[in-house]
Amino acid sequence: MESTTIRTAVVGYGGAFNMGRQHANEMRAAGMDFVAACDLDPARMDQAKADFPEIRTYTEIEGLLADDGVDLVTIILPHNLHAPVAVQALDAGKHVVTEKPMCTSVAEADAMVDAANRAGRMLSVYHNRRWDGDFTLIKGLIDDGTIGEVFHIEAAMGGLSDPGAWWRSDKSISGGALLDWGAHIIDWAQAMIPEPIAGVDGYFHKRRWHERSNEDHTEAIVRFKSGKTLQVEISSLAAVGKPRWRILGTHGAIVLSGWDTLEVTIDHKGHLAKFSPKIPPSEGHRFYENVFAHLTSGEELVVKPEQARRTIAICEAAERSSETQKTVVPAYAELDWRTGK
């Protein structure tokens, strides 16, 4: 862009987690101008105005997209609305960031990427957890060769509890249980093993929480063409949990139990040695710093839409595998993770 000023807006200013305010503050901290917000609920626009008195507010998307004073729109809506609103915004000439997951199907992801290419505008997904302290530490240990070559990753989230009566437990809106935290885990894991994929096996269960339409328990097993494996579990039926991460390498292993205890085991001259490095602070705000630098100075975009699309493809393949009881090759299995091509 010719200007070094990026004028931003959010679509969706819901009260849950106050994500609209979080995005706005992170945009401003990155050097962007937060100028507008849109939500169907007038009360939420009153709150946005109270939080940021100088902004313009809209209760319908057409008004926001017609605002020539907005360069970038961040979409903070239920998952099933990410794709249609993103395409609408891209067609209106806006750069777009969506909350994760990118969308709920590969077809939707394709439509979003096509719209961005057609409009010549940036599209990214708010995978801000690439800057989580535990992940950056683990990724650094892997890249340094501390545990040798990583060949097997296990990751799990969940417990035994009713997922609750809200949109995130409604499959028609959320896209299913695997797409929520699973989108983060699968994004992280592909950065650890950035290789072509041979196939995905899925195991989805609906056994207890029948009043909710999301699955109760989901597992996805990704086999890379090199033979390396990834196992992801997202569950509302796990009375006994697993470590968040169990990562095996040819010369050691990494285990993260909970959120703050990382244990590294290494083979030192035939003896197993263990240490627990301190987890650094998370820096999720750097997502918008990268977006700003990308738009104003051409810095490489960290979270590429093609990467986020393959995460959706893996989730979709896992569900199809569960339905057919066969291994499914996901779309974009040959993607070069580093370049997004």
Determine how many CB atoms are found less than 10 A away from the CB of residue 215.
24
DSSP secondary structure code for residue 325 in this structure: T
Tell me the three-class secondary structure of 165-193, residue by residue. Answer: CCHHHCHHHHCCHHHCHHHHHHHHHHHHC
Backbone angles phi, psi at 183, to 5 degrees: -65, -40
- The CATH superfamily label for domain 7-129+286-302 reads NAD(P)-binding Rossmann-like Domain (3.40.50.720)
The domain defined by 131-282+309-324 carries CATH number 3.30.360.10: yes
Residue-level pLDDT at 17: 79
CA neighbor of 189 nearest in space, from 260, 137, 135: 135
Residue-level pLDDT at 101: 98
Question: What is the number of H-type helices and E-type strands within the chain?
Answer: 10, 14
Residue-level pLDDT at 4: 81
Backbone region of residue 325 per phi and psi (left: phi > 0; alpha: psi in -120 to 50; beta: other values) = left
Residue-level pLDDT at 216: 97
Per the listing, tokens 């040819």 go with 250
Residue type, 27: M
Residue-level pLDDT at 3: 58
Q: Which part of the chain has CATH 3.30.360.10?
A: 131-282+309-324
Q: Mind listing the pLDDT tens digit of every residue in the chain (341 residues)? A: 445 899 999 999 987 779 999 999 999 999 999 999 999 999 999 999 999 999 999 999 999 999 999 999 999 999 999 999 999 999 999 999 999 999 999 999 999 999 999 999 999 999 999 999 999 999 999 999 999 999 999 999 999 999 998 999 999 999 999 998 999 999 999 999 999 999 999 999 999 999 999 999 999 999 999 999 999 999 999 999 999 999 999 999 999 998 889 999 999 999 999 999 999 999 999 999 999 999 999 999 999 999 999 999 999 999 999 999 999 999 999 999 999 99
Residue-level pLDDT at 14: 87
Say if CB 85 and CB 77 are below 8 A apart: yes
Q: Which part of the chain has CATH 3.40.50.720?
A: 7-129+286-302
Q: Measured between alpha carbons, how far is residue 198 from residues 191, 203, 225, 274 in Å?
A: 17, 17, 5, 33
